[in-house]
């Protein structure tokens, strides 16, 4: 038998503008749905780890909230979490939506990384939406930034090019012992993961501002003798009018959110799930220090 390759391990931060496809890419890189995805910007609120082993390397991917110009406290905390994710990582992967090109948010990220003296890997994502001839000028323009050591063109949605990217990163990680057990997928507690599944349905099923006013918390978690799990969650909104929309006519909206979240949870947990959702008006949850800590965010950002 040949000698085993030395073990490698490291953190790889995925950064980019809102909607560039960071969470979709994280899920594709680890082969599991860990980070929630929606067509709306700012779906991801905090740092999500996705852990995967490639040959002798353990890759710890860090999905981050998008980097944009924040205004409100929650937004500031999200952007701070994104930059912190990049600072702590061994590698930074910058995602650019190839269909969108380099917008003001992407410019800000590139400038920020350069001034921090970082190097990065560029991923042009969503190549399934763009004609190949249009990709080359974009890649050339970004190569001139003198920030990127390598450029990959992928579709996080179809998985095209993702295995190549993973192999490249695995080979480039520093040698060192693995930081997580071999079969661990994430560091998110199950209660938080379960809350995220419901929050994803809120983003997918409700319009405009309401998802941004919403916080989901798992309040109870009861493993039953028959192997099923009973989960109770609160959906916090900020106003009574929002509660009415969340409930829907005769409770139909929250029922639909619960039905889809429950199906997804049963799939993820491999167990029967009883999910109970309660919609509460909690006016000032975006000003609650404890809740930021529970989300893994810094209140004073
Ligand atoms: P994030 O905000 O950067 O985490 O972006 P998400 O992963 O939440 O994705 C934002 C939207 O872009 C979702 O509707 C995704 O389905 C979509 N998306 C992500 N990657 C791709 C891709 O490679 N191709 C296409 N067509 N859509 C994608
Ligand atoms: Mg995201």
pLDDT at 289: 92
Ligand 2 centroid, distance to 117 Cα (angstroms): 25
CATH of the domain at 220: 3.30.300.20
My answer on whether 41 and 126 are in the same domain is yes
pLDDT at 3: 65
Question: Residue 260: pLDDT band by 50, 70, 90 thresholds?
Answer: very high
The answer to whether residue 10 scores a pLDDT higher than 60 is yes
My answer on whether 114 and 198 are in the same domain is no
Residue 277 structural domain: 190-294
Residue 299: inside a domain, yes or no?
Answer: no
Domain boundary among the residues 142, 172, 202 is at 172
Question: Residue 1: pLDDT band by 50, 70, 90 thresholds?
Answer: very low
- 155 in contact with ligand 1, CB cutoff 6 A: yes
My answer on whether 216 and 153 are in the same domain is no
pLDDT tens-digit profile of 112-155?
999 999 999 999 999 999 998 889 999 999 999 889 999 999 99
My answer on whether 122 and 196 are in the same domain is no
CA dist 200 and 258 (Å) reads 11
pLDDT at 293: 86
My answer on whether 149 and 257 are in the same domain is no
Count Cα atoms within 13 angstroms, Cβ side, for 171: 5
pLDDT tens-digit profile of 238-249?
999 999 999 999
**CA-based nearest residue to 98, from 17, 29, 43, 153:** 153
The answer to whether residue 97 scores a pLDDT higher than 70 is yes
- 279 in contact with ligand 1, CB cutoff 6 A: no
The answer to whether residue 9 scores a pLDDT higher than 60 is yes
My answer on whether 156 and 220 are in the same domain is no
Residue 2: inside a domain, yes or no?
Answer: no
My answer on whether 70 and 195 are in the same domain is no
Domain boundary among the residues 140, 172, 204 is at 172
Residue 248: inside a domain, yes or no?
Answer: yes
Ligand 2 centroid, distance to 44 Cα (angstroms): 4
Question: For the whole model, what pTM was predicted?
Answer: 0.92
- 65 in contact with ligand 1, CB cutoff 6 A: no
Indicate which atom in ligand 1 lies nearest the CA of residue 95. 3
The answer to whether residue 49 scores a pLDDT higher than 70 is yes
Residue 184: inside a domain, yes or no?
Answer: no
Question: Residue 47: pLDDT band by 50, 70, 90 thresholds?
Answer: confident
My answer on whether 99 and 220 are in the same domain is no
My answer on whether 128 and 162 are in the same domain is yes
Domains contained in the chain, number: 2
Supply the mean pLDDT for the chain: 93
My answer on whether 194 and 168 are in the same domain is no
pLDDT at 85: 87
Residue 183: inside a domain, yes or no?
Answer: no
Ligand 2 centroid, distance to 48 Cα (angstroms): 9
Residue 77: inside a domain, yes or no?
Answer: yes
Question: Residue 211: pLDDT band by 50, 70, 90 thresholds?
Answer: very high
pLDDT at 168: 97
């Amino acid at each position: 038998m040949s000698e085993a390759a030395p073990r490698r391990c490291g953190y790889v931060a995925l950064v980019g503008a809102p909607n560039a496809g960071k969470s979709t890419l994280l899920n594709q890189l680890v082969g599991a749905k860990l980070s929630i995805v929606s067509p709306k910007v700012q779906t991801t609120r905090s740092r999500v780890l996705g852990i995967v082993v490639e040959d002798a390397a353990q890759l710890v991917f860090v999905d981050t909230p998008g980097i944009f110009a924040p205004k409100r406290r929650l937004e500031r905390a999200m952007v701070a979490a994104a930059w912190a994710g990049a600072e702590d990582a061994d590698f930074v992967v910058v995602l650019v939506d190839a269909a969108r090109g380099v917008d003001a948010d992407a410019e800000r990220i590139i400038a920020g990384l350069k001034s921090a003296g970082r190097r990065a890997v560029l991923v042009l994502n969503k190549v399934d939406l763009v004609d190949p001839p249009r990709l080359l000028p974009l890649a050339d323009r970004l190569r001139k930034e003198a920030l990127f050591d390598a450029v990959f063109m992928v579709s996080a949605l179809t998985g095209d090019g993702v295995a190549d990217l993973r192999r490249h990163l695995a080979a480039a990680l520093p040698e060192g012992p693995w930081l997580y057990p071999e079969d661990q997928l994430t560091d998110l507690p199950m209660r938080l993961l379960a809350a995220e599944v419901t929050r994803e349905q809120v983003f997918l099923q409700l319009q405009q501002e309401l998802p941004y006013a919403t916080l989901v918390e798992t309040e109870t978690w009861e493993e039953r003798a028959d192997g099923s799990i009973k989960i109770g969650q609160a959906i916090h909104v900020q106003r009574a009018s929002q509660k009415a929309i969340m409930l829907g006519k005769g409770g139909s909206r929250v029922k639909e959110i619960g039905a889809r979240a429950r199906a997804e949870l049963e799939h993820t947990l491999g167990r029967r799930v009883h999910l109970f959702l309660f919609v509460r008006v909690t006016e000032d949850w975006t000003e609650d220090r404890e809740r930021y800590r529970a989300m893994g965010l810094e209140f004073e950002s």
